[in-house]
Amino acid sequence: MIARRAIIIRLPKDKCDVNYITRLMALTNLAYRGFEVWVPDIPKNIQYQIYGFKNYMESLVFGTTPKRWFAETWVPLKTLRVYCDGARRGATDALVVLDFKKNVIKLYQVCKNEPGYSIEVPMPRWVIERVNEGGDIKYAMIGLRDNEPYLALVAERVVEPHVPSGCRLVVDVNAWSNGVAYGIINPGNRIAEYSSLRPNLRLIDTWYYRAEDLHKKLGRLKRLGLDSTPETRRLAREVKALRRKVYAYLRDFAQKKAHELVMKAIRLRALVIIDDMLDESRRELIEEKIPSGLRKVYLAETRRFIKLFTTQLQWYDVPYRFERLPSTVCPICQHELTQEEGRTMVCTNCGFKAPRDKAPIHWAMRAMPKAKVGPS
């Protein structure tokens, strides 16, 4: 099986001709529809490449057929990889050259319609990481998003078939205030490990409330008509920086933890069960009377966490599925659970008792592993 992952990088706009890229995209759109239109003033080698991709038209790598005429269609391109040991792989006529010796990506003639025109962009760390995992960047795409030029790189990797061990890794994604709870159920249907991944909430709260305070102060100054004094400008910058810090911290946390869990799943050869019902978390935050701004912070990057997690599971061919694992319904008798102090859930019907974050793991234990794998 071949696993694929993609990344997009922004290209310097001053070095790109947006109109030219728009034309290339229009030609690609036609190519997707099976037309071959040869335009005299666009380099032949680019047009050869576009029509050379005909056999891949329905492939996932290049997306599906655009629905509208002249819809934005990214231009597929072959690549040439020049490795540190001097080895070269890929198409010799490629217009995208990944130079691992100089750590740059060179783009020829796809950014501007001038003979011999080329630009260089730094090699993203992402590429190095994929290559170190045994991946290869065979294809790239160039295109516009919101009128900004981008380069998309597609990494491919041949993955070994996953031999399941009978272990299950249950991942319950909540708001950051409760974190991502995970549990490992061993083949004997017992909980072997259980933990919650939580960011440093005190740090987040401190930054958040500091930003709120400064924001209020800023509002007062603005109401006094002091919009453009050095003091208000400094405050505005500080508020922005603090807010950015919170999101950057959570983004980083999400990325690290998603990767850690994927590595765990690989090590255990586990089937992964994910509960991504964030609505329940949102309700809980409202019940706890968390201010809406902070609620937003606690839920920030949680969707991205799931996206990162599943993308990497696919990349490593780890089977996973989404399952609803309620934390407020008894996994034994399905009676409603009552929450006691310290987020302990109790069933008044059958006597089941567990920490709130652990209840979903009990639900997963109930459901015996099924044969169906992959995203549902």
Give contact residues for Zn ion (rule: CB under 5 A).
330, 332-333, 335, 347, 349-350, 352
Residue 191 or 201 with smaller CB distance to Zn ion: 191
- Cβ 143 vs Cβ 75: under 8 Å: yes
CB of 312 to Zn ion, least distance (A): 36
- Give dist(CA 360, CA 353) in Å, integer: 12
Q: How far is the CB of 351 from Zn ion (least distance, A)?
A: 7
**Contacts of 307 by beta carbon, 8 Å cutoff, 6+ apart:** none
Q: Which residue lies nearer to Zn ion by CB, 330 or 359?
A: 330
Minimal distance, residue 359 CB to Zn ion, in Å: 11
81 φ/ψ angles, rounded to the nearest 5 degrees:
-110, 125
Q: Spell out a b/e string for 331-348, using b for 16 or more CB atoms within 10 Å of the CB, else e.
A: beeeeebeeeeeeebebe
- Give the nearer residue to Zn ion in terms of CB position, either 2 or 332: 332
Comparison of 316 and 352: residue with beta carbon closer to Zn ion: 352
Please list, residue by residue across 21-48, b when 16 or more beta carbons sit within 10 angstroms of its beta carbon and e when fewer do. bbbbbbbbbbbbeeeeeeeeebbeebbe
Q: What is d(CA 7, CA 123) in angstroms, rounded to the nearest whole number?
A: 12
Q: How far is the CB of 362 from Zn ion (least distance, A)?
A: 10
CB 323 to Zn ion: min, Å: 19
28 contacts 171 by C-beta, under 8 angstroms = no
Nearer residue to Zn ion within complex by CB, 88 or 366: 366
- Name the residue nearer to Zn ion (CB basis): 61 or 329: 329
DSSP codes, 219-272: HHHHHTT-TTSHHHHHHHHHHHHHHHHHHHHHHHHHHHHHHHHHHHHHHHTPEE
Least CB distance from residue 287 to Zn ion, whole Å?
Answer: 22
Strands in the chain per DSSP E: 2-10, 75-82, 88-90, 96-99, 104-108, 118-122, 136-145, 148-158, 168-173, 180-185, 191-197, 271-275, 320-322, 337-340, 344-347, 353-355
62, 80 contact by CB (below 8 A)? no
Q: Which is nearer to Zn ion, 263 or 332 (CB)?
A: 332
Query: Measured from the CB atom, is 195 or 338 closer to Zn ion?
Result: 338
CB of 328 to Zn ion, least distance (A): 12
In angstroms, give the least distance from the CB of 326 to Zn ion.
Answer: 12
Q: Phi first, then psi: what are they for 283, rounded to 5°?
A: -60, -45
